[in-house]
């Protein structure tokens, strides 16, 4: 006898999967864009990516609705953190570009 499908839980899982995969992809893009060696296991970003892989491998259908809420909080916090990391990187990149432009103007 099969368990009845809980559509509300299934919907929550699908949304959570999309959200989590987006966060993973954003960090992976950051790592690759910045030339960080993905094989370097001493690099913080690689360790975080590996942690994300483990979290993405969890069987969410075995979790209770409450546990899914905790997992949602985890990914929400990681989303904020990854936004902060990538934003800091963009600001530093803009500052480097601005500094480079300024040096070029001074050399003219």
Instruction: Output phi, psi for 18, to 5 deg.
Output: -65, -45
Residue 47, C-beta contacts closer than 8 angstroms, at least 6 positions apart: 41
**Radius of gyration, CA atoms only, the chain:** 20
The predicted pLDDT at position 43 comes to: 94
The length of the chain is 108
Architecture of the domain defined by 7-106: Orthogonal Bundle (1.10)
DSSP string covering 18-30: HHHHHHHHHHHHH
pLDDT tens sequence across 85-102: 888 776 666 656 656 665
Q: What is the largest CA-CA distance in the chain?
A: 80
Per-domain residue ranges of the chain: 7-106
pLDDT tens sequence across 6-52: 899 999 999 999 999 999 999 999 999 989 999 999 999 999 999 99
Q: How many other C-beta atoms are found inside a 10 Å radius of the C-beta of residue 24?
A: 20
State pTM to two decimals: 0.78
């Amino acid at each position: 006898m099969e368990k009845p499908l809980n559509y509300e839980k299934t919907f929550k899982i699908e949304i959570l999967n999309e959200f989590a995969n987006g966060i993973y992809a954003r960090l992976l893009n950051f790592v690759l864009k910045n030339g960080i060696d993905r094989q370097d296991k001493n690099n913080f970003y690689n360790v975080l990516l590996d942690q994300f892989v483990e979290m993405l491998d969890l069987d969410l259908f075995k979790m209770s609705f409450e546990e899914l809420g905790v997992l949602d909080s985890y990914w929400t916090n990681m989303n904020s953190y990854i936004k902060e990391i990538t934003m800091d990187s963009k600001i530093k990149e803009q500052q480097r570009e601005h500094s480079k432009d300024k040096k070029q103007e001074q050399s003219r």
